[in-house]
Structure 1
Amino acid sequence: MEAKRTIRVASLFAGIGGICQGFLDSKNKKAKYEIAWANEIDPYACETYRKNFSHPLIEGDINFVLHPENSDDIEKYTELHEQALSEPIDVINGGFPCQAFSIAGERKGFDDERGNLFMSFIDLINQLDEKFHKKPRVLFLENVKNLKAHDHGRTYKVIKSKLEDCGYTVKEAVLNTMSYSELPQNRERIYIMCFLNKDDADKFTLYDNLDKFKRTFDATERATQIKNIIDYSVDDPKYFYTKEKYPHYFMTEEEFAKNGSKDGIRINLEEDITEMYQFYQLRRGQYVRKNQSNVCPTLTANMGTGGHNVPLILTPNGIRKLTPEETFRLQGLPAGRGYVFPTSFNGTKTYGNSHLYKQAGNAVSVPVIKMIAEQILDIIK
């Protein structure tokens, strides 16, 4: 049997490995992906990543990896630099930090240092070309939907022109997780594909035929999907909302008439959260909203900041927020079913759920990545 061709991949801003997992899950009879290395700066995300992947992880600031001379630890970053440039790369992928462009953030774009991290892709391309006289054949970038419209389209125009200046043909599409996978999550993201060879670009027709891949599900089918993700037997008290813990979220009409409330608003979760297999949000502590599409609202990194940012559900044991495992599974990572969590940080500190919630919100939807990555593999096999 003929051996499969190996496509070497470098992954920037790898987080907990959602994009890497999507690539590794991709199937093709003639070729397969191999992650040459991945890069991530967040030490907690790195801890989670290493628990689940065995390929090299370059931990640190990508700008210093590419330019060790600018760091305070030249020895460390010189070693990482040599690792990153040890061999040619066929595909670079990455979801560069989106907070600078997100509707949920301050939308400062390139005025935010995180927005400028896009240039790491350009820098790596040029350094690989300089050393090996070979640019990556394909680039795969992911970001928030708002990137396309940010600053009246000027931000994306700059990004696209930089990629084209490197010789790439650029194609992009905004895809919603709930429409292109069986994951019940409303998550719109822009997926940017860049091809060094025009012939490859011409063969990549996924974005021209999205209707063939789009899927719709009725309420019964969504309920089945949700049952596969949510563990309705969970009874850990720390996840549950009760009148004892949050009396102001279980206020009866009589209590409100008698005592009022601090902000003049009455909320009673038991009145508002009434349906199983649905997702609810406690918005700014002022009202409860059910997602109208029978799916989970977009998971965000804010889930890790406390407050009431984690979606709520009704279970036989009461009203509770999603567990970290469930938020990971809503992204297509099988937490508790093969994908594991760290129990400590550096073997000493307790690894808090806040880090896991943040990681899930920053992650990508693995099946969507897999769908696109398989199309690439079909072309460059």
Structure 2
Amino acid sequence: MTYRVGSMFAGIGGTCLGFAQAGAEIAWANEIDKNACITYRNYFGNSYLEEGDITKIDKRQIPEIDILIAGFPCQAFSIAGYRKGFEDDRGNVFFQILEVLKAQEEVYGHLPQAIMLENVKNLFTHDKGNTFKVIREALETFGYFVKAEVLNSMEYGNVPQNRERIYIVGFQDKSQADSFIFPDPIPLTNKLDDVIDRSKKVDSRYYYDESSQYYKMLKESMVNKNTTYQLRRIYVRENRSNVSPTLTANMGTGGHNVPLILDNEDNIRKLLPEECLLLQGFPKDYHYPEGMANTHKYKQAGNSVTVPVVKRIATQIITTLNGKKEENQVYKYITAT
């Protein structure tokens, strides 16, 4: 069976791509950022993406879906407001997820069989734990049995990026929820140099030279060609695990947030936006549209998810929905002796 997926806060489609790679069909997606929508359509086409503010979209027009996915912004919640029926928090985007669930039940007579939500790892402790508590209780009110784990992309996606995210999975069927297991960690065999070509000459705007007030500090600090660095205005941080630090949307607001590397000729440069996509596990044929500004490219890459991690979770969800009792999927590696 091919499961139909609805995607909220879809960004440039990283979560959609992970589910599509796992064999699901994306039936509907929504994103408010117009530039992210341009990038999304550049790869996926324009058949099902609904651009616009989710609070203003007629949720009864959303097609019938089997799995709802969402990488939603993290905001504080009022537990008192939640218990009063959400009146105090109607503007909080998380509750738009519940509105979509409610519309699906009203229009099609049932809820999506499964859900998967993604957020920053601090969601567990955000607002002294109240935020996660409200999310769990709200989903349980809709009949979902919920599990959640924090997974690091470098440990679960085989990509050289230190990126911890919480993944919340829920099923309408308790036996399915009981049988669902998150993926096991896998070896990190993809290194930075599998993503970054340090011998490649790129546009001059990506390099730091003597004209920069930070050049002397960078030159003194950046000596390792096997890792990445970050400029923190008054000091330079080396990533000692030889991977990229967490890519963030703030990369689009200035060069200081973009990780730096030392190339083979000892030049200091920023990671390219395309390299950031590769560090999120996007395939090499995924391209930004021509004419897209770098500020938008960096923001979109930082806002996205790590595709291979989502694919592995999606595969586990689909396996569970199919009723298969297979053991956890662990990638097999052959070690040369």
TM-score normalized with structure 1 length = 0.78
Misfit runs of 4+, over 6 Å: 111-115
Match for residue 215 of structure 2 among 228, 244, 250: 250
Identity of aligned residues (%): 50
- Give how far 1:226 is off: 1.2
- Give how far 1:291 is off: 0.9
* Partner residue, 2:254: 306
Match for residue 240 of structure 1 among 178, 183, 207: 207
- Give how far 1:216 is off: 4.3
* Partner residue, 2:242: 294
Pick closer, same or farther for the CA change 1:39–1:147 going to 2, 3 Å.
Answer: same
What are the residue-to-residue correspondences of 1:219-234 with 2, within 5 Å? 221=189, 225-232=191-198, 233-234=200-201
- 1:269 maps to 2:245: no
CA distance in 2, matches of 1:7, 1:250: 52
CA distance in 2, matches of 1:368, 1:155: 24
- 1:6 maps to 2:6: no
* Partner residue, 1:71: none
Pick closer, same or farther for the CA change 1:114–1:356 going to 2, 3 Å.
Answer: farther
SS of the residue 1:116 aligns to: coil
- Give how far 1:114 is off: 11
Whether contact under 8 Å (1:92, 1:138) holds in the other structure is: yes
When the two structures are aligned, how many residues end up with a matched partner?
310
CA distance in 1, matches of 2:68, 2:176: 15
Whether contact under 8 Å (1:312, 1:321) holds in the other structure is: yes
Pick closer, same or farther for the CA change 1:42–1:179 going to 2, 3 Å.
Answer: same
Whether contact under 8 Å (2:145, 2:171) holds in the other structure is: yes
CA distance in 2, matches of 1:312, 1:302: 15
Match for residue 141 of structure 2 among 154, 165, 169: 165
- Give how far 1:83 is off: 4.1
Match for residue 11 of structure 2 among 15, 18, 26: 15
Q: Give the letter for the 1:287 counterpart.
A: Y
Whether contact under 8 Å (2:60, 2:103) holds in the other structure is: no
* Partner residue, 1:25: 21
* Partner residue, 1:77: none
* Partner residue, 1:78: none
- Give how far 1:234 is off: 2.9
CA distance in 1, matches of 2:271, 2:147: 36
CA distance in 1, matches of 2:187, 2:241: 11
- Give how far 1:88 is off: 1.9
- 1:182 maps to 2:173: no
Whether contact under 8 Å (2:151, 2:167) holds in the other structure is: yes
Whether contact under 8 Å (1:96, 1:118) holds in the other structure is: yes
Unaligned stretches of 5+ in structure 2?
Answer: 79-87, 323-337
TM-score normalized with structure 2 length = 0.88
CA distance in 2, matches of 1:321, 1:47: 24
What are the residue-to-residue correspondences of 1:71-90 with 2, within 5 Å? 81=59, 83-84=61-62, 87-90=63-66
Unaligned stretches of 5+ in structure 1?
Answer: 27-31, 67-80, 101-108, 252-267, 345-350
CA distance in 2, matches of 1:238, 1:97: 31
Q: Give the letter for the 1:58 counterpart.
A: E
CA distance in 2, matches of 1:82, 1:214: 39
